Amino acid sequence: MAAPDPLNRQQRELVRNIIQKGGVIAYPTEAVWGLGCDPWNSEAVRRILELKSRPVDKGLILVAASIEQVRFLLTPLPEELQQQAMSHWPGPVTCLIPDTNRQTPDWVRGSHNSIAVRVSEHPVVKALCDSAGMPLVSTSCNPAGQEPARDAAQVRCYFNNQLDYIVPGELGGNHKPSRIIDIVSGKQLR
């Protein structure tokens, strides 16, 4: 039997509309609350960076509902690197994937030649990416220097009315944000 959908039809439509119009949402992930938007909308990404006081050169993570949503990033890679990334997904592992063809915007990639990608198994994250029909930006929901939000009340405390929607839901069972692995070197960076 399939797990119940964490978002009802109205919530899915609302999220899709917000994302399409360049909005910014907060949502629960595996370990902390995240901020998200359409990664190809420079104004939406700029809003997130301003909310967090985060420099653009640091880059952001893309989160997806399925490998198919990020297949465009895997296809140019040698088979062994594709397999290395896919061996971690779905799950709470973010892979640094070479983006030598520049398929992701500079405002998401930052000053890097790679893009950070996670294919999540968290039901709310999957529902959001499915509803949007694309991977979303995923960055911890907190101003720089503060602890990431661990509940909706803390999200409101940090950002009050500066967000377009706070998606209801619960955090996953992880206690730390996702591990980050460079698939080329094999090194774990976080």
- Take residue 83 and report the two structure tokens written for it: 């397999």
- Take residue 177 and report the two structure tokens written for it: 């944000």
- Take residue 96 and report the two structure tokens written for it: 């640094």
Q: What is the model's pLDDT at position 174?
A: 86
- Take residue 52 and report the two structure tokens written for it: 């967090």
Band of pLDDT at residue 187, cut at 50, 70 and 90: confident
Using CA of residue 135, residue 190, residue 89, residue 111, what is the dihedral sign? Answer: positive
Asked whether residue 173 carries a pLDDT value surpassing 90, the answer given is no
Band of pLDDT at residue 2, cut at 50, 70 and 90: low
Domain segments of the chain: what residues?
40-150
- Name the amino acid, one letter, at 79: E
d(CA 79, CA 67): 14
Q: What is the pLDDT of residues 67-110, one digit of tens each?
A: 999 999 999 999 999 999 999 999 999 999 999 889 999 999 99
Asked whether residue 1 carries a pLDDT value surpassing 60, the answer given is no
Is residue 21 exposed (0-12), middle (13-18) or buried (19+ Cβ within 10 Å)? Answer: exposed
Lowest mean pLDDT: which of 30-44, 128-142, 176-190?
A: 176-190
Band of pLDDT at residue 177, cut at 50, 70 and 90: confident
Please give the model's pTM, rounded to 2 decimal places.
0.93
- 132: Cβ contacts below 8 Å, ≥ 6 apart: 15, 16, 19, 20, 38
Q: Which CATH class is domain 40-150?
A: alpha beta
Q: What is the model's pLDDT at position 85?
A: 96
Q: Is there a contact between 86 and 140 (Cβ–Cβ < 8 Å)?
A: no
Query: What's the mean pLDDT when you consider all of the chain?
Result: 94
Q: What are the contacts of 7-16 at 24+ separation with CB within 8 A?
A: 7/124, 7/127, 7/128, 7/131, 7/167, 11/167, 11/168, 12/127, 12/131, 13/131, 14/165, 15/128, 15/131, 15/132, 15/165, 15/167, 16/131, 16/132, 16/133
Q: What is the pLDDT of residues 55-79, one digit of tens each?
A: 999 999 999 999 999 999 999 999 9
